[in-house]
Amino acid sequence: MLFVMLFLLSPNFVIKAQQIISSQRQALITQIAQEIAQLQAQVAQILAQQQVSPGVPVRLKIPKINVDAEVDPVGITSSGEIGVPIGPATTSWFDLGPRPGDIGSAVIDGHFGHWKIGVGSVFDNLNKLVVGDKIYIEDQGGIKFTFVVRESRVYDPVADASVVFYSDDGKAHLNLVTCEGTWVPAQKTFTNRLVVFSDKE
């Protein structure tokens, strides 16, 4: 019995026991870390599979050109044209199409040019956006969506611009529309239309 006690108390045994405990502890830590990593991967996969359903857009922000504007829903006017904002500082979302963030091409329009009341319009500097610039949309639930400018195009007012409203690539797009060019008093409109195409980040 005394021999056993002396053996258990010997420095070599104590060191070996500590090594065994340390090894077991390290193995347990490694196992826990691996299980956590697996759980994180599973959670990431689940989140990736779940798509946040966008709400009605209420705010448009474009830091590059200092735009921070209200977004109001519009449809088709009695003359068959897309509705426009009632004032120079707001924008309009075409609510017969996708919501920004949904699959497809969402469309938001805004005015261009100087008003008689002495103010400019929300999209006066839309032509300054370049590839890679960011556009931000906030919906009624406070969820924010980011879009990245892909390209800009100028159209004649009577040209076929169906590509602005339609896409079939299974991705989410946001297209901003405004006027550009020279004001034509007789027609009460500008000579061109500017469209900025952007893709959900």
Smallest Cα–Cα separation from 59: which of 142, 121, 150, 134? 142
CATH number of residue 128's parent domain = 2.40.260.10
Q: Which domain holds residue 144?
A: 57-200
- Please state whether beta strands 91-94 and 67-74 pair in parallel, antiparallel, or not at all (unpaired): parallel
Cα separation, 82 vs 93, in Å, equals: 10
Cα separation, 138 vs 140, in Å, equals: 7
- 34 and 132 together in one domain: no
Token digits of residue 114 = 């100087």
Number of domains in the chain: 2
The pTM is what? 0.73
Q: pLDDT per residue over 36-90, tens digit each? A: 888 877 765 555 444 568 999 999 999 999 999 999 999 999 888 889 999 999 9
- 134 and 66 together in one domain: yes
Token digits of residue 103 = 């699959």
**Bridge-partner residues for 120, per DSSP?**
none
Q: pLDDT per residue over 154-200, tens digit each? A: 999 888 888 999 999 999 999 999 999 888 888 888 889 999 999 99
